[in-house]
Amino acid sequence: MTPEQLAAELHGPPRRIHLIGVAGSGMSGIAALLLTLGHQVSGSDKVDTVEVKRLQSLGLDFHTPQRAEDVVAAQLVVYSSAIREGNPAYDAAKRLGKPMVRRAEALAALMAGKKGILVCGMHGKTTVSSMAAHVLRAAGVHPSHYVGAEIPILGTNARWDAGGEYFVAEGDESDGSIVCYHPEHTIVLNIEPEHLDHYADLAAIDAAFARLLSQTTGKIFFCADDEGATRVCAGRPGAVSYGKTGTYSCADFRSADFTSSFSFRRDGAELAAVVLNVPGEHNAINATAVLAVAAEMGLDLPKCAAALESFRGARRRFEVVHASGDFLLVDDYGHHPTEIAAVIRAARDAGRDRVLLLFQPHRYTRTAALKDDFGRALAQADAVVVTDVYPASEPPLPGVTGQLVADAAVAAGCPHAVYAASRLQAGIEAGRLLRPGDLLVTLGAGNIHEQGTALAQDLKTIEILKSAMGPGVARLYEPMSKHTTMRVGGPAQFWLEPETEEGFCELVRTAHAAGLPFMVIGRGSNLIVRDGGLRGVVVRLRRGVFGEFEVMGEKIRAGVGVRLKALSGAAIAAGLSGFEWMEGIPGDVGGCLRMNAGAMGVEAFDQVESLRYADNEGNTLEKSPRDLEIHYRSVPLLRSNYALSALFRGSPSTPGEVERRTRDYSATRRASQPAGASAGCIFRNPEGGRAGQLIDSAGLKNLRVGAARVSDIHANFILNEGGATASEVLALLERVRADVLKQHGVRLETEVQIIGEEASVA
């Protein structure tokens, strides 16, 4: 089918047209235009989207998954550049001999019914085409438009306006189909090495643009600041330059936060003063391109400049997703080094303390070809987290991962650049880096924006929690490996350390009202947290009142954050006996109370006179042990309530005598328990026996999984010898349990608490 025949088909009587890959931003726009022109449009894709649902309300017949039978009734099939052989609808259309055209061919045919204004180049097409459509609409031109993203101010990414003679569209050069267009005017933003999976070299790219320009019947607007655009466009008939230099220029650029202003001039004479509400000098230059077209068309420039002030940009083009006094999160589609550099410059204009990037490379071929350019661009940020490559339609290339880009950023001088293979882990790493005053940009053409959305929601939540708590520490994604004596565990989603009882109680109320999981931990000495970490709120009570104690005669009141070693030391200084057993236990008062911990024949509640606690509604109460149900290693009340402090009773003695007994207890403990990172005894002693002896007699001392090992001193201890994961510790635990059951017929039950989620590979 020739271009002329295709144009006649699309502008003629209604036809049955099927679109393969209709959910994509480009194809959905074609569907919208065809529906407006009265065609019977069907489409298929592997996913459903909000845009597809909108198109269905306009008459699209949508199918997922894609099937061969979808194309049987079609008189014309349009497919996106991502569709290949092996797609059942594509293969069926070829087998049936259906007329088939690429997306760009269909768009070029649709444009043939009007005067086309084509925006092309490697970067900025969506912004400039949407700017142009908005400005021309405000000037009363009634343009049709087609842009590659959701544009809130335009209402939709594609629109056919029967009342206007112009059609503004962006032309995609990635697959060479840019040569399909025959516009009246062309805007060339930039030309540089890109899409080298399709083009042999820069000369081939230049040739494609040159052919497009030879098919342009009116003016060619090119950016004089860009070497490639100047190389290909300058000197051609109808060529008009724009930029910081050129016939039309952007002068006196000023920026503040996310606004900017400049003087739009022709040959040095001001034509209009412009205010923009999209950031960065690159957007001022984009606006200059649009105003240059408007000037050459003879439009009202003050009206066009006023329209630019109301322009707010496309989705995923420096889109603010979260803003507060502490944090600013922005999402951007940029996926080429030039775009990244422009985004960082715009981010600097926001005036925040630091600019952080969460970057997802796009396509293996681009990553391999431009890794050093990526590194130089990313090095302009204060910190960068790089996740793995979003493949689009490409198969993997051996050795090509996001690690290449992170390494290149380090080599280029980036202060902090790390690689995290999974998108989820990359988001966690970025969240950990954030501190008040930062601006974080999620950057890439893949699905990295989903991580930005999740991070924005978590930031909003932790800011609410922090406000409720008052004084204290609040952090996102705190590694639980820092807060367990086993030194394993993934991140706590919301980590809070309040300093007052009132702040803690308000946290309890706020978290429960929001339906957030809520838990309090001590020093993590009897705890194994899985590698996926903990969802919800995790509170550590160790600051402020929770870390204080007071000696009152023969009694000591201690907050739950007081370490048992410190409590034992206070008792020595006060000449109080009864606390000696606490020496050497790697825990604090809170964990001791919750578990009714003990050693050397003594339990915590043997000494407790009163317990102060908060219930799960944030009320504070106090009870004596006689009013509580107390078991070996268990206090049921504290399973759903939260200890705040306790009053302990001691017996008068002399400091010297107490210190002597404390040393004896400590020596006994050191002789029987191994040094190193552990969670204490892993298994409970079974009735009539000792877990350590069963494990030892099964020959399991020194059994190892990864960096986790059964102690050769006390077989009921598992040691982290450095770098062990929770998965390794738990695999070793299950191996020990299975072997003891097989050899002795005894199933060991864990004494340690095992919590958290398995690690995700997403």
Contact 209, 178 (CB under 8 A): yes
Catalytic residue among 114, 125, 219, 371: 125
Burial class (CB in 10 A: 0-12, 13-18, 19+), 513: exposed
Look at residues 681, 721, 679 and name the one whose alpha carbon lies nearest to residue 704. 721
* In the block, residue with structure tokens 């003695």: 653
Spell out the long-range contacts of 435-438 with Cβ–Cβ below 8 A and sequence spacing 24 or more.
435/353, 435/354, 436/325, 436/326, 436/327, 437/326, 437/352, 437/353, 437/354, 438/327, 438/328, 438/352, 438/353, 438/354, 438/355, 438/356
Three-class HEC string of 459-506: HHHHHHHHHHHCCEEEEEEEEHHHCCCCCCCCEEEEEEEECCHHHHHH
Please name every residue paired with 251 in a beta bridge, in sequence order, or none if there are none: 263
Tokens of 715: 């077989």
Identify the DSSP state of 580.
Answer: G
Structure tokens at 696: 């030892």
Which residue among the candidates 105, 170, 194, 501 is catalytic per the annotation? 170
DSSP state of 68: G
463 is catalytic: no
Token pair listed for 344? 């960082």
Q: Respond yes or no: is residue 125 known to be catalytic.
A: yes
Which strands make up the sheet holding 383-386, listed edge to edge? 319-323, 327-332, 438-443, 354-359, 383-386, 417-419
Question: Which CA distances in Å does 518 have to 53, 542, 639?
Answer: 38, 17, 12
Length of the chain: 762
Q: What SS3 class is residue 750?
A: strand
CA distance 60 to 42: 5
Query: How many CB atoms are located within 10 Å of the residue 122 CB?
Result: 21
The one-letter code for the residue type at 188 is V
Cis status, amide bond into 337, omega within 30 of 0:
no
Q: Which of 9, 51, 105, 126 is catalytic?
A: 126
How many beta carbons lie within 10 A of that of residue 50, not counting itself?
9
Are 406 and 420 spatial neighbours (Cβ–Cβ below 8 Å)?
A: no
DSSP of 342-378: HHHHHHHTTT-SEEEEEE--B-HHHHHHHHHHHHHHH
Q: Which of 582, 596, 732 is nearest to 658 (CA)?
A: 582
* Three-state DSSP class for residue 577: strand
- How far is C-alpha 281 from the geometric centre of its chain's CA atoms? 27
115: its two tokens: 């005067």
Angle at 511 between CA 477 and CA 527, to 5 degrees: 50
170 catalytic residue (yes or no): yes
Integer CA distances (angstroms), 149 to 133, 187, 330, in order: 13, 18, 17
Catalytic annotation, residues: 125-126, 170
